[in-house]
Amino acid sequence: MLHRDQRAEGNFSSVVGFVLLGFSDLPNLQGFLFGIFFLIYTFIMIGNGLIIIITRIESALQTPMYFFLANFSALEICYVSVTVPKILANLWTQKRSISFVGCATQMCFFLILGVTECLLLAVMAYDRYVAICNPLQYPLVMNQKTCIQLAVGSWISGIPVQIWQTYQVFSLPFCGSNQINHFFCDIPVLIKLACGDTSLNEICVYIVTILFAMISFLLILGSYIKIISTILKLPSTTSQFKAFSTCSSHLTVVVLFFGPGAITYLRPKSNHSSGNDKMFSLFYIFVTPLFNPIIYSLRNKEVIATLKKLLLRKTERGSY
């Protein structure tokens, strides 16, 4: 299907839809990739869903740290659901077309949720900072009202900026190819397709990335410098190990998310290659949401204990 709108003015034509090439260069692996991605998506949904359920039903886990973890798991479910179902549909049907509005909607939600992830990771770092550096003040500082305000702020702060940025990108003239050599609609690949001067859009991408991603990362970095400094002053090795283990899971997720994201959005357009863009985007689409439940459950005794309780209850009910 050719997604073009022929205009009366000369031979000018504009794109009214796109084709997501995705993994079309691997025709013999379409079924295999569908199976792998479907399993990963299923695991992400179940794993993050379990974390939400566990933190809601277990009273011992109804603390600020687990409140933010539940928010983060809900975010990961939303994050993958913006892109992965379309990827799976394209692999299954081989129909790779996406409408202009559909592409804009997908990108807008993807960017909004990306900002939310940056801010939530910063909030989670601040929570650990208060818990470790100011333990006596922790119940007062991280009260229920503050936690809700921080969570809501993280979810909604990026909405107006990313709606504006999506509008800016899709206001560009797409008068050339309508084939996106990627598996979802993202800013770098769309700017690459646009005609004319896109330098202003690239500057806007840098500004928004610095505004949300870099500032969030610096806040996380500052929090952990203070945290590590405090941990090293603890009298016993056991206390140091316990404090480090509490923070290590969060730090792992931070590295997995911010590393590939920064490389993708802070490189100039001329340095973007389709292969690298696909590889890096796989990290923040699949790897972080996939490892989130693994990192926070396998390394967390409280979560494992609660999960065992749930399984025992189900086993006992099933035996009657």
* Cα Rg, the chain, nearest whole Å: 22
- Model pLDDT for residues 232-276, shown as the tens digit of each residue: 887 777 666 766 776 777 787 888 788 776 676 666 655 555 666
Checking if the pLDDT of 181 tops 90, the result is no
**Which among 180-184, 277-281, 296-300 has the top mean pLDDT?**
180-184
For residues 128 and 246, is the Cβ–Cβ distance under 8 A? yes
Output the CA torsion sign for 196, 1, 184, 33.
negative
Checking if the pLDDT of 4 tops 60, the result is no
How far is C-alpha 71 from the chain's CA centre?
Answer: 12
For residues 209 and 203, is the Cβ–Cβ distance under 8 A? no
**Which among 52-56, 98-102, 149-153 has the top mean pLDDT?**
149-153
Per-residue confidence band for 3, with pLDDT thresholds at 50, 70 and 90: very low
Q: What is the pLDDT of residue 243?
A: 67
Range 186-213 burial, b when 16+ CB lie within 10 A, else e: bbbbbbbbbeeebeebbebbeebbeebb
Q: What is the pLDDT of residue 36?
A: 92
The pairing of strands 97-99 and 17-20 is antiparallel
Per-residue confidence band for 299, with pLDDT thresholds at 50, 70 and 90: low
Q: What is the pLDDT of residue 214?
A: 86
Between 128 and 4, the more confident residue is 128
Checking if the pLDDT of 47 tops 60, the result is yes
* Burial of residue 217 (number of CB atoms within 10 Å: 0-12, 13-18, 19+): buried
Q: What is the pLDDT of residue 316?
A: 57
- Model pLDDT for residues 195-205, shown as the tens digit of each residue: 878 888 888 88
Question: In the structure encoding, which two tokens stand for residue 142, read together?
Answer: 């991280």
Q: How far is CA 83 from CA 23, 39, 80, 105, in A?
A: 14, 15, 6, 11
Q: What is the mean pLDDT of residues 206-220?
A: 88
Domains of the chain in start order, with CATH, are: 18-319 (1.20.1070.10)
* Burial of residue 240 (number of CB atoms within 10 Å: 0-12, 13-18, 19+): middle
Q: What is the pLDDT of residue 305?
A: 74
- Residue 99, SS3? strand
- Residue 13, SS3? strand
| Beta-bridge mates of residue 2 | none
- Model pLDDT for residues 139-163, shown as the tens digit of each residue: 999 999 999 999 999 999 999 999 9
Amino acid found at 278: K
The pairing of strands 179-180 and 17-20 is parallel
- Residue 207, SS3? helix
Least confident of 180-189, 202-211, 234-243: 234-243
Distance CA 303, CA 182 (A): 37
- CA-based nearest residue to 187, from 84, 254, 272: 272
Per-residue confidence band for 186, with pLDDT thresholds at 50, 70 and 90: confident
User: pTM, whole model, 2 decimals?
Assistant: 0.85
Long-range (24+ apart) CB contacts under 8 A made by 195-201 are 196/172, 198/172, 198/269, 201/168, 201/169, 201/172
